[in-house]
Amino acid sequence: SQQGEEDPQALSIQEGENATMNCSYKTSINNLQWYRQNSGRGLVHLILIRSNEREKHSGRLRVTLDTSKKSSSLLITASRAADTASYFCATLPTGTASKLTFGTGTRLQVTL
Amino acid sequence: DTEVTQTPKHLVMGMTNKKSLKCEQHMGHRAMYWYKQKAKKPPELMFVYSYEKLSINESVPSRFSPECPNSSLLNLHLHALQPEDSALYLCASSQDRVLGGNTIYFGEGSWLTVV
């Protein structure tokens, strides 16, 4: 079953702009992870944020987590054409040791 | 080497065929997973193996049969599939079953078409 909803479903920006994707989920979680998937390819792990963390950075990525609102956001700064992909949030609900559940995904298109 | 290798990359099979998807990792991970992904949808968990034992089966039809011959290999045996089973099948692994702090690494997937 699907745990997360992502917003927007699709996002088109120009190179150099920032891209923000939001994820909302339904139940309490141990952690939340963001993944990237190029068309028809496997998923690449981007960043993991634990339930007791509020913000995390990795290169041009910034992730926030608000457990009171059951939401997370992924910010990609200074986007590049190579960032074009689908981005998924994935949650590990409390009490489910290995049931990582993916959100609906955001398709990001970065144009030159 | 953070790599999960899946073969074949593409598979076309008839509804009466028997085929297998294979997955291999050499990271010493003790948990391995099968996910199914339909076009423009998120991946959905099918099976979890922990220390070579099946620990989670997400009510997957018996026409899908997983097997973990050893800690590095995971197979998915396919028999009497339906056209609606056509999808991208993703294998993944993590250090152990408890994902509290562990990253899960995915392979590139096997595209399955059932005709």
Beta strand B73-79 with B18-25: parallel, antiparallel or unpaired? antiparallel
Specify the pLDDT at position B79.
Answer: 95
- Taking the CA of residue A8 and the nearest CA in chain B, the distance in Å comes to 14
Cis peptide before B61 (omega within 30 of 0): no
| Calpha distance A34→A101 (Å, rounded) | 11
Please report residues of A whose CB lies closer than 8 A to that of B41: 104-105
Beta strand A85-93 with A106-111: parallel, antiparallel or unpaired? antiparallel
Cα-to-chain-centroid distance, residue A57 = 13
pLDDT digits (tens, 9 = 90+) for B86-106: 999 999 999 886 666 678 899
Please report residues of A whose CB lies closer than 8 A to that of B109: 40-42
Cβ separation B56–A99 shorter than 8 A? yes
- Could you tell me the two tokens for A67? 């457990």
Cβ separation A41–B100 shorter than 8 A? no
Please calculate the CA angle A20-A76-A22 and round it to the nearest 5 degrees. 30
- Could you tell me the two tokens for A60? 């041009």
Cis peptide before B8 (omega within 30 of 0): yes
- Taking the CA of residue A30 and the nearest CA in chain B, the distance in Å comes to 6
pLDDT digits (tens, 9 = 90+) for B30-89: 999 999 999 989 999 999 999 999 999 999 999 999 999 999 999 999 999 999 999 999
Radius of gyration from C-alpha coordinates of chain B:
13
Please report residues of B whose CB lies closer than 8 A to that of A98: 31, 33, 48, 50, 55-56, 94, 97-99
- Taking the CA of residue B7 and the nearest CA in chain A, the distance in Å comes to 13
Specify the pLDDT at position A94.
Answer: 82
Segments of chain A assigned E as strands: 4-7, 10-14, 19-25, 29-37, 43-50, 55-58, 61-66, 71-76, 85-93, 101-102, 106-111
Picking from A49, A98, A102 by the largest number of B CB atoms within 10 A of its own CB, the best residue to mutate is A98
Is the Cβ of A104 closer than 8 Å to some Cβ of chain B?
yes
Specify the pLDDT at position A73.
Answer: 98
Specify the pLDDT at position A25.
Answer: 94
pLDDT band at B17 (very low <50, low <70, confident <90, very high): very high
Residues of chain A with pLDDT under 50: none
